[in-house]
Amino acid sequence: MAQTRIAPPAARNEGQWAFDDAREPLNGNEQFKQDDDGLNVRARIEEVYSKQGFASIAPEDLRGRMRWWGLYTQRKPGIDGGKTATLEPHELDDEYFMLRVRCDGGALTLEQLRVIGEISVEFGRSTADITDRQNIQLHWIRVEDVPEIWRRLEAVGLSTQEACGDTPRVILGSPVAGVAADEIIDGTPAIRAIAERYIGDPAFSNLPRKFKTAISGSPHQDVAHEINDVAFVGVEHPEFGPGFDLWVGGALSTNPKLGVRLGAFVTLEQVPEVWTGVVGIFRDYGYRRLRTRARLKFLVADWGAELFRQVLEGEYLGWTLADGPAPPPPPTGRRDHVGVHPQRDGNFYVGAAPTVGRTPGDLLLRIADLVEAAGSTRIRLTVEQKLVVLDVAPDKVDALVEGLEANGLGVRTASTFRRGTMACTGIEFCKLAIVETKARATHLVGELESRLPTFDQPITINLNGCPNSCARIQTADIGLKGALAGGEDGYQVHLGGGLGLTSGLGKTLRGLRVPAEELPDYIERVTRRFDEQRTEGELFAQW
């Protein structure tokens, strides 16, 4: 950090490291992070826990530091959602783990896809979910198998490092970076540089909470940049050419906030340095007193964009960013990449829609065979829990599409509901969940397809299992937040949120909790009404 301090302290002690030389921990999380860097748990997993088993894991590693390597205990089966808030954490812990594999930029090689599929089949009861942050999550992982899983992942260049925890999480990137004909700029070199230089760097391994990054040079704004802690959004500068517009402070969950523009233009080469400046501000000035106020969005809300930019330039960069234009509104139309689309090199990219991101290991292996037969070696994951196969030669497209469709992955035939519905992990595996999500969303998609077979307008339906917002309920056309209704599974409804062209937070319908079994009826009613009342070209969020 530079010598001159510009930033003012918070009105009370918020645990900001920049103003507390002693860095006295103000809560249990800050204490365990100060006691030992989360990254150091790897040695104990390899040398002790994997050999002596689940019971040997120290509690602060089990429920704390193991996240730094992508590991969460999963929920003990059979505990209903009503007990989530009343049981002690150890009563919810199963002896199995969720393991999150980070896929920066959503990019996977054919070999990497195969290895994840094999690990899923061999060690994870064939579970695998594509998340809305372009990761792949496996379940039923035993601590005994973790070192072997790491060995296999790392042999092909994959990692679980800082996939969870108070760290810089996976870096989102456009799924069609480097191939799309209408791309403003390819952000891939910046994503790679940040991942290679700073993921696992102890300088950034103790942040106040998680830190999310998005970098996309697509005019379609396809990485949900508005809800990331820092985002670099492709823009054409009238003087300097293509580069990025800098956004900070977006995040959902409780107290959702969309990111704000700093009005600053960042060249591709400057992105890693500017990124370290923003994450440095978060580390040093972020609020650590309460977990509920420890995201960057609270600091940005208190400081405002102007002061944040002054601190970034004056204390961290030591140079001034150029002013830059706002990105133009994205083109209308879908931006989920599903379907067959031309690349700029004459090949095609083929986007497929697994239902709510469910891609069991045996399916991943079949997809890998299809990708190989199509002559491609590159796969990308999307922030809508979908996948894209790049570099498909024109004469290989039809066979690939046919193969994907035969495996239940809609390309040309995916309904608007299959394309637009997402669900978080929910009560099947998540210890915070109150209700079921994945299976219910899958059922919902099937119901809507049979009840509304001709409805083809873009619509997003996102299901969460609790008030956190892992499936971005506040930015969906129809957001469904798990909440018990009369002791049974139900959902609170948020309507009219959006990203990109319709960027904004949905309205909460207070007092309404739709019981789970009435969900198809409710969504059908809302969708029919929209279809009857909408004007030509009107989107759900504009209705």
Strand 230-237, strand 211-216: pairing:
parallel
Nearest of 34, 8, 19 to residue 166 by alpha carbon: 34
Among 468, 485, 488, 534, the residue binding ligand SF4 under the rule CB under 6 A is 468
Smaller CB separation from ligand SF4, 103 or 441: 441
Could you tell me which residues come within 8 angstroms of residue 213 by beta carbon, excluding any fewer than 6 positions away? 168, 169, 171, 172, 194, 228, 229, 230, 231, 275
How many CA atoms lie less than 13 Å away from 52 in the CB half-sphere?
Answer: 9
Q: Does 56 bind ligand SF4 (CB under 6 A)?
A: no
Smaller CB separation from ligand SF4, 47 or 91: 91
Task: State the nearest-atom distance from the C-beta of 419 to ligand SF4, in Å.
Answer: 21
Smaller CB separation from ligand SF4, 363 or 434: 434
Q: Does 464 bind ligand SF4 (CB under 6 A)?
A: yes
Q: Does 470 bind ligand SF4 (CB under 6 A)?
A: yes
Amino acid at 534: R
Which region, judged by CB under 6 A, interacts with ligand SF4, from 154-162, 208-216, 254-262, 465-473?
Answer: 465-473
Q: Does 497 bind ligand SF4 (CB under 6 A)?
A: no
Smaller CB separation from ligand SF4, 310 or 468: 468
Task: State the nearest-atom distance from the C-beta of 71 to ligand SF4, in Å.
Answer: 15
Strands (E), 191-287: 211-216, 230-237, 241-248, 260-266
Dist. CA 174–CA 388, nearest whole Å: 11
CB-CB contact of 404 with 367 (8 Å)? yes
Strand, coil or helix: 345: coil
Q: Tell me which residue has tokens 């509920």.
A: 292
Task: State the nearest-atom distance from the C-beta of 57 to ligand SF4, in Å.
Answer: 21
Per-residue x/- marks for ligand SF4, 360-379, CB under 6 A? Answer: --------------------
CB-CB contact of 485 with 524 (8 Å)? no
Smaller CB separation from ligand SF4, 336 or 436: 436
Strands (E), 249-397: 260-266, 322-323, 339-342, 348-352, 378-381, 387-392
Smaller CB separation from ligand SF4, 356 or 363: 356
Task: State the nearest-atom distance from the C-beta of 160 to ligand SF4, in Å.
Answer: 17
How many CA atoms lie less than 13 Å away from 5 in the CB half-sphere?
Answer: 8
Which region, judged by CB under 6 A, interacts with ligand SF4, from 227-235, 295-303, 373-381, 459-467?
Answer: 459-467
Smaller CB separation from ligand SF4, 70 or 465: 465
Q: Does 465 bind ligand SF4 (CB under 6 A)?
A: yes
Q: Does 264 bind ligand SF4 (CB under 6 A)?
A: no
Q: Does 63 bind ligand SF4 (CB under 6 A)?
A: no
Nearest of 57, 55, 97, 58 to residue 76 by alpha carbon: 97
Q: Which two tokens stand for residue 117?
A: 């599929």
Dist. CA 274–CA 276, nearest whole Å: 5
- What secondary structure does DSSP assign to 485-507, as a single string? BTTB-EEEEEES-BSGGG-BPPE
Q: Does 76 bind ligand SF4 (CB under 6 A)?
A: no
Smaller CB separation from ligand SF4, 247 or 429: 429
Task: State the nearest-atom distance from the C-beta of 354 to ligand SF4, in Å.
Answer: 17
Residue facing ligand SF4 at closest CB distance:
465
Smaller CB separation from ligand SF4, 352 or 432: 432
Which region, judged by CB under 6 A, interacts with ligand SF4, from 172-180, 272-280, 411-419, 460-468?
Answer: 460-468
Q: Does 312 bind ligand SF4 (CB under 6 A)?
A: no
Among 214, 231, 300, 466, the residue binding ligand SF4 under the rule CB under 6 A is 466
Q: Does 252 bind ligand SF4 (CB under 6 A)?
A: no
Q: Does 131 bind ligand SF4 (CB under 6 A)?
A: no
Q: Tell me which residue has tokens 């590991």.
A: 71
Task: State the nearest-atom distance from the C-beta of 254 to ligand SF4, in Å.
Answer: 11
Per-residue x/- marks for ligand SF4, 230-249, CB under 6 A? Answer: --------------------
Smaller CB separation from ligand SF4, 425 or 502: 425
Nearest of 361, 366, 439 to residue 99 by alpha carbon: 361
Smaller CB separation from ligand SF4, 465 or 490: 465
Interface of this chain with ligand SF4, residues 415 to 434, rule: CB under 6 A: 424-426, 430, 432-433
Phi-psi region of 506 (alpha: psi -120 to 50; beta: other; left: phi over 0): beta
For 115-125, letters b (16+ CB in 10 Å) and e give bbbebbbebbe
Could you tell me which residues come within 8 angstroms of residue 462 by beta carbon, excluding any fewer than 6 positions away? 421, 422, 423, 471, 472, 473, 475, 476, 478, 479, 480
Interface residues with ligand SF4 (CB under 6 A)?
424-426, 430, 432-433, 464-466, 468, 470
